[in-house]
Amino acid sequence: MRVARLDSGMAWAEDPPSRTRHVIGNLEAAPLENGEVEAKTAFLVYRSHLETDHQLLSGCREDVLRKVNGAWKVKRRKVMFDANVLLDKNLSVSASSSRGQDPIGLTPLNPHQRPSRT
């Protein structure tokens, strides 16, 4: 069925693809009593497509991180945008999952993003 949709002309993809920049900052991390870490960050996402199509999204993330087999993993993530209404034509959300490899279904954290205990 998916292959047939590709041939129908109804499958949409950007051509050329958008250019995207993600900026994450203002990390606040605090240890929780159960050994997990609560981390809060602010983000900006800038996306441009062709010469006239530009979007700027801002907001914050609240994560709960858990150490599993010596590696930090995201247990829970809440994303909140600053705007009440998003007027973009489309919004692509990417979520990685390690459910096939990890029995408790936690998403691996980028190794360069270690939470600090403040």
| Beta pairing class for 71-81 and 19-31 | unpaired
Cβ neighbours of residue 16 under 8 Å, at least 6 residues apart?
A: 49, 50
Q: What CA–CA distance (Å, rounded) separates 43 from 32?
A: 23
- pLDDT band, very low/low/confident/very high, at 15 (cuts 50, 70, 90): confident
β-sheet bridge partners, residue 31: 37
pTM of the model: 0.63
pLDDT digits (tens, 9 = 90+) for 19-41: 889 999 999 999 999 999 999 99
CA 21 and chain centroid, separation: 12
User: Which CATH number does the domain 15-108 belong to among 3.10.450.50, 1.10.357.10, 3.10.129.10, 3.40.50.11140?
Assistant: 3.10.450.50
Domain limits, the chain: 15-108
pLDDT digits (tens, 9 = 90+) for 35-75: 999 999 999 999 888 888 888 999 999 999 999 999 999 99
